[in-house]
Structure formats: structure tokens, C-alpha cells
């Protein structure tokens, strides 16, 4: 340590220059502005004690050797939030807030025992059909703990992951032709007189298979009345704290142009003439000019179902199932359905709508039997 008097623009002052040292760090400090040699030396001695105890502002801030699950989650979240869309971030945070933090938040990462983890996994498997997707987030966090040398081994490697349960008595995924006709008949002849906006949205969803977030982000500038097309160029994302925002569609193939039948186009035109919000950048479906809440279309669909006993047990997403099923039944190819729905690849279409392909397989199995041999 060196203490000396120096000349500054404000006159003479005392300066201390030396190294603060503890078992893990050595930091040079240089400070001036003391009115005496004694006060400069006293400051340095006091700072040395603080530095030795890790309480000095000159101590380097390092990541603790061990953290609780919640602390590690918060560190990971700082990086993760800059790598995904806000809607994805919202879903991920919800998984941790509901399924991970309440159980493990205050537990030190090093204190997670395989037995406790196995019991937790068994409970999750019994409660949630697709539990592996949820527990996968937790496993991702513990992999980070291994890489940061907080733990030597990921405890997930020491447990058994039970097979995901199959859903018995699977709820109805789509309407057949007669059910669909009954649904549209109710919309056209009864519900259209009650809520024109809801009627238009539900009918457009039923006849196009558009995603809910695509319907809610649709603006009048995306509707080509002259040629009968709708351009899907954006979607409504779910943000943090219940907020929503306009984002890019789900995938590159989700950006697409849909041909609309003349009857549906006429219904859209009628809504255009009725609503006060019909400028180019106004949303086709809105509340006082603002986008509707994401769950509003499902609420409207359930209202129709409860009142008229049609589309019972279905959701807006299952209207997409219905569109695909009926389109395939009417002779559309899987590739055509894939393109119209905006699926990234054909396997997604086949996976989601396996019911129709199974029916096709059943029919194919009887082809040779028709020979009467």
C-alpha cells in the first residue's frame, strides 16, 4: 500500500494506492480525496476488512456455488427470455409457476434426491397426460446445474420415467357431416340474429379452419372482397400478465392465402357494413377497436353449444379438426389440407387428424372383400 500527497486542480489531497487481498481475489484500488494521510490509511484498512469478509464493493460478484431451484430458474430466465417470443416465454413461465416452483422452489439444487424426484414424477404422470413435456423444463434446469458444477450428476438420470398414460374415452374431436350441417344451420338461422360478430367469426372459423389467433389478428386490409381471398400474415400472441400482442404467424407455412366461398364472403361483407370499425387497419373482430381476448371465441362457441345443443364438447381448435376431416372426406388430398391449414409439414396433418386416416385404412381393408371370393 502506498499513501502520498498529490496536487490536483482543487489543491493538495491525499491518495492511497494498494491491493485488497483475500483467499480468492486480489484487486488493486486507487482512491484520492482524503484530507490527511491518517484518514487515507484508515479507509484502506477498513476496506481491507470488508474485502476479506466479502462485503466490499470491490469484491467481484460471482455466481454462488449452489442455489435453490428458484434462484437457478431466475438466472436461467434472464437469458431464456431473450431467445423466444413473448407468447412462448409466457407458457414456459406458467409451467414453472404452476408445476415446478411450488414444489421445488426453496430446495437447494444439491439437495434434490432421486427418491423425492421419482415420487414427484410419479405424481405428475398420474395427474397430467403429457407430463414429460412439463417435467422436461425441470430437467433442462438441472442440466444447467450440472454444467455450472453445482451438482455432479443430473438426478433425472437416476430415476424411471413412466410411460405417459393413454386417454381413455377420448372426447369427440370433430363433427361429422350431419352435425356440421346442424351447427351451420343454427348459426345462419338463429345465432346470426343474436350476435352478428360472434356469428361471423364462428362461421369463418368453421369454413376455413383458421387458428383462433389468426382470426383475432385479422384486419380488413387482409380481406380481398373483389377476388374472394383472405391473407394470413399475422397472429395474436399471448403476452405476460394477460396481455396480447400482434406477432408473426406460427410458422413460415402459416403465412398463406385462403380462398373464401361466395356465401362466406357475403356474410363478411355484411359484417363490414354493420361494424363501426371497418377501416383498413381495423381488426375484423374487435371490442371497441381493440383485439378480442383469446378465450372470447371459445366462449361464444360454448354459448351456442349450450343454447342450441350443437357442436357439443367442441372448441375452436376442434373446428380445425372438423374442417380437415370433412375436407378429406370430400376428396381433398392430405397435401391440400396441410397447405390450407398452414401446417409446417405433412406429418403434422396426419398426426393431428389420424381419425380420418384410420377410417380410410378401415375402408381400404375391405376393398378385396368386395370381390366376393
Going by C-alpha positions, the residue among 300, 295, 348 that lies closest to residue 324 is: 348
Residue-level pLDDT at 356: 56
Does residue 313 sit in the same domain as residue 245?
A: yes
Does residue 239 sit in the same domain as residue 341?
A: yes
Does residue 265 sit in the same domain as residue 300?
A: yes
Strand partners, 236: 246
Q: How big is the chain by its Cα radius of gyration, in Å?
A: 32
Give the whole-angstrom CA distance, residue 363 versus residue 143: 48
> Range with the lowest mean pLDDT among 45-49, 101-105, 262-266?
45-49
Neighbours of 29 (CB within 10 A): 18
Does residue 225 sit in the same domain as residue 154?
A: no
Quick one: 370 exposed, middle or buried, by C-beta within 10 A (0-12, 13-18, 19+)?
Answer: exposed
Q: Which of the pair, 366 or 354, is modelled with greater confidence?
A: 354
> Range with the lowest mean pLDDT among 39-43, 130-134, 210-214, 360-364?
360-364
Over residues 214-224, mean pLDDT? 96
Residue 205 sits in a domain of what CATH number? 1.10.443.10
Residue 95 sits in a domain of what CATH number? 1.10.150.130
Residue-level pLDDT at 221: 97
CB distance 218 to 231 below 8 Å: no
Neighbours of 314 (CB within 10 A): 23
Mean of all residue pLDDT scores within the chain? 88
- Tell me the pTM: 0.67
Residue-level pLDDT at 252: 84
Q: How confident is the model at residue 373 (pLDDT cuts 50, 70, 90)?
A: very low
Does residue 117 sit in the same domain as residue 252?
A: no
Does residue 293 sit in the same domain as residue 235?
A: yes
In a domain, 223, yes or no: yes
In a domain, 107, yes or no: yes
Q: How confident is the model at residue 347 (pLDDT cuts 50, 70, 90)?
A: low
For 344, phi then psi, to 5°, come to: -65, -35
Q: Which of the pair, 87 or 156, is modelled with greater confidence?
A: 156
Indicate if the pLDDT at residue 324 is higher than 70. yes
Residue that terminates a domain, selected from 92, 127, 158: 158
Letter string b/e over residues 120-155, b meaning 16 or more CB atoms within 10 A of that residue's CB: bbeebbeeeeebbebbebbbebbebbeebebbeebb
pLDDT digit string, tens, across residues 20-51: 988 778 888 888 888 999 999 999 999 999 88
pLDDT digit string, tens, across residues 45-93: 999 998 888 888 887 765 556 899 999 999 999 999 989 888 889 999 9
In a domain, 8, yes or no: yes
Cα torsion 107, 108, 111, 114: sign: positive
- Domain containing residue 8: 2-52
Angstrom distances, CA of residue 56 to CA of 23, 27, 34, 38, 39: 14, 11, 19, 20, 18
Residue-level pLDDT at 359: 55
| CA dihedral of 274, 278, 283, 284, whole degrees rounded to 10 | 40
Residue-level pLDDT at 350: 63
Indicate if the pLDDT at residue 234 is higher than 90. yes
pLDDT digit string, tens, across residues 168-186: 677 777 888 999 999 999 9
Q: How confident is the model at residue 345 (pLDDT cuts 50, 70, 90)?
A: low
Residue-level pLDDT at 341: 84
In a domain, 373, yes or no: no
> Range with the lowest mean pLDDT among 92-96, 130-134, 331-335?
331-335
* Beta strands, E only, 267-345: 286-287, 290-291
Does residue 125 sit in the same domain as residue 181?
A: no
Determine which helix (DSSP H) or strand (DSSP E) holds 267, and give its type and residue range: helix 262-274
Mention every residue, 6+ apart, whose C-beta is less than 8 A from residue 314: 172, 174, 175, 301, 305, 322
Indicate if the pLDDT at residue 104 is higher than 60. yes
Does residue 150 sit in the same domain as residue 286?
A: no
Give the whole-angstrom CA distance, residue 35 versus residue 13: 6
Give the whole-angstrom CA distance, residue 152 versus residue 329: 56
> Range with the lowest mean pLDDT among 104-108, 112-116, 318-322?
318-322
Indicate if the pLDDT at residue 134 is higher than 70. yes
Indicate if the pLDDT at residue 366 is higher than 60. no
Does residue 196 sit in the same domain as residue 251?
A: yes
In a domain, 367, yes or no: no
Structurally, the chain folds into a number of domains equal to: 3
Indicate if the pLDDT at residue 335 is higher than 70. yes
Quick one: 301 exposed, middle or buried, by C-beta within 10 A (0-12, 13-18, 19+)?
Answer: buried
Over residues 226-243, mean pLDDT? 90
CB distance 67 to 105 below 8 Å: no
Does residue 295 sit in the same domain as residue 224?
A: yes
Residue-level pLDDT at 149: 87
Does residue 344 sit in the same domain as residue 202?
A: yes
CB distance 216 to 263 below 8 Å: no
Amino acid at each position: 500500500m502506498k499513501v502520498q500527497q498529490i496536487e490536483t486542480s482543487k489543491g493538495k489531497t491525499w491518495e492511497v494506492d494498494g491491493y485488497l487481498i483475500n483467499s480468492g481475489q486480489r484487486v488493486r484500488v486507487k482512491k484520492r480525496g482524503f484530507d490527511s494521510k491518517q484518514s487515507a490509511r484508515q479507509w484502506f484498512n477498513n476496506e481491507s476488512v470488508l474485502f476479506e469478509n466479502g462485503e466490499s464493493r470491490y469484491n467481484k460478484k460471482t455466481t454462488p456455488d449452489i442455489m435453490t431451484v428458484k434462484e437457478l430458474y431466475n438466472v436461467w430466465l434472464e437469458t431464456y427470455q431473450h431467445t423466444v417470443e413473448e407468447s412462448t416465454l409466457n407458457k414456459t413461465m406458467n409451467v414453472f409457476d404452476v408445476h415446478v416452483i411450488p414444489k421445488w422452489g426453496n430446495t437447494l439444487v444439491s439437495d434434490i434426491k432421486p427418491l423425492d424426484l421419482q415420487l414427484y414424477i410419479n405424481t405428475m404422470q398420474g395427474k397430467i397426460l403429457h407430463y414429460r413435456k412439463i417435467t422436461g423444463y425441470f430437467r433442462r434446469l438441472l442440466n444447467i446445474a450440472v454444467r455450472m458444477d453445482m451438482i455432479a450428476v443430473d438426478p433425472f438420470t437416476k430415476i424411471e420415467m413412466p410411460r405417459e398414460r393413454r386417454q381413455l374415452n377420448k372426447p369427440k374431436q370433430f363433427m361429422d357431416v350431419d352435425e356440421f350441417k346442424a351447427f351451420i344451420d343454427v348459426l345462419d338461422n338463429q345465432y346470426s340474429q343474436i350476435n352478428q360478430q360472434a356469428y361471423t367469426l364462428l362461421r369463418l372459423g368453421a369454413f376455413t379452419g383458421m387458428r383462433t389467433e389468426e382470426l383475432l389478428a385479422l384486419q380488413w386490409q387482409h380481406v380481398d372482397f373483389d377476388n374472394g381471398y383472405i391473407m394470413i400474415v399475422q397472429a395474436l400472441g399471448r403476452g405476460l400478465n394477460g396481455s396480447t400482442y400482434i406477432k408473426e404467424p406460427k410458422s413460415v407455412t402459416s403465412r398463406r392465402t385462403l380462398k373464401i366461398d361466395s356465401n362466406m364472403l357475403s356474410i363478411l361483407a355484411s359484417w363490414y357494413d354493420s361494424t363501426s370499425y371497418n377501416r383498413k387497419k381495423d381488426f375484423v373482430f374487435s371490442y371497441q377497436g381493440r383485439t378480442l381476448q383469446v378465450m372470447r371465441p371459445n366462449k361464444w362457441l360454448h354459448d351456442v353449444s349450450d343454447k342450441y345443443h350443437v357442436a357439443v364438447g367442441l372448441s375452436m381448435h376442434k373446428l380445425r379438426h372438423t374442417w380437415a376431416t370433412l375436407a378429406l372426406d370430400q376428396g381433398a388430398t392430405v397435401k391440400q389440407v396441410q397447405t390450407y391449414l398452414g401446417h409446417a409439414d405433412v406429418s403434422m396433418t396426419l398426426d393431428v387428424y389420424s381419425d380420418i386416416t384410420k377410417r380410410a385404412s378401415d375402408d381400404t381393408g375391405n376393398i378385396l372383400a368386395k370381390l366376393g371370393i
